[in-house]
Amino acid sequence: MGKKAQVWSLDFALSLLIFMSALFAVVFAWNYISANTMETQQMHELQLKALTLSDSLIRTNGIPMDWNESTVEVVGLAADENVLNATKVKYFVNMSDSDYDHLKGLMDIGFYDFYFEIRDLNDTVYENTTTPVSITSSIVIPIERYAMYNDRIVKVKFVIWD
């Protein structure tokens, strides 16, 4: 007579434990990699948005060219490339205080928040928006550029976060 195969409960339990452990490790690794990829993608998106916006603010006049708080269609703070118009900067700061959500819509930044600041090289603040950077933000992208403002070289800081 031939031998018949038998299933031992200990063998079955051990193989099930090994299989479940391997499955758990694969699912955990997949979730970890997926989350890191999404965060990296969001950070790159925010960096591109911050660079584009800061560039647009200090290099363009906006639309219309002589916009004010009620006529602005596209925000631009420049009188010339990298030379800021003091009146437009005031309008921009006032709009950020009075109608922040509308200003975010004009800049097309969606659900992201922003902070804007102009400082001279001695760190004296000339203008800034009152929106502080949220401590709970997971991704904060600061951009710093140099421009002319009131015949002085200044640092223009633009921060965007989720």
Beta bridge partners of 63: 74
Q: Would you kindly state where each structural domain of the chain is located, as residue ranges?
A: 9-161
146, 155 contact by CB (below 8 A)? yes
Mean pLDDT of 134-140: 73
**3-state class (DSSP) for residue 128:** strand
| DSSP-assigned letter for residue 135 | T
63-78 pLDDT, tens per residue? 999 999 889 999 999 9
Q: What is the pLDDT of residue 86?
A: 93
What lies within 8 Å, CB to CB, of 160 at 6+ separation is 46, 49, 50, 53, 109, 112, 113, 114, 140, 141, 143
Q: How far apart are CA 14 and CA 42, in angstroms?
A: 42
pLDDT exceeds cutoff 70 at 131: no
Single pTM value for the model: 0.73
pLDDT above 60: residue 1: no
pLDDT in tens, 13-59: 888 999 999 999 999 999 999 888 888 888 888 899 899 999 999 99
As given in the structure block, the two tokens for residue 75 are: 């925000």
Average pLDDT rounded to a whole number, residues 135-146: 84
| Cβ contacts of 147-151, under 8 Å, gap ≥ 24 | 147/58, 147/78, 147/82, 147/83, 147/84, 148/82, 148/83, 148/84, 149/83, 149/84, 149/86, 149/89, 149/118, 150/86, 150/126
162: buried, middle or exposed (CB in 10 Å: 19+, 13-18, 0-12)? middle
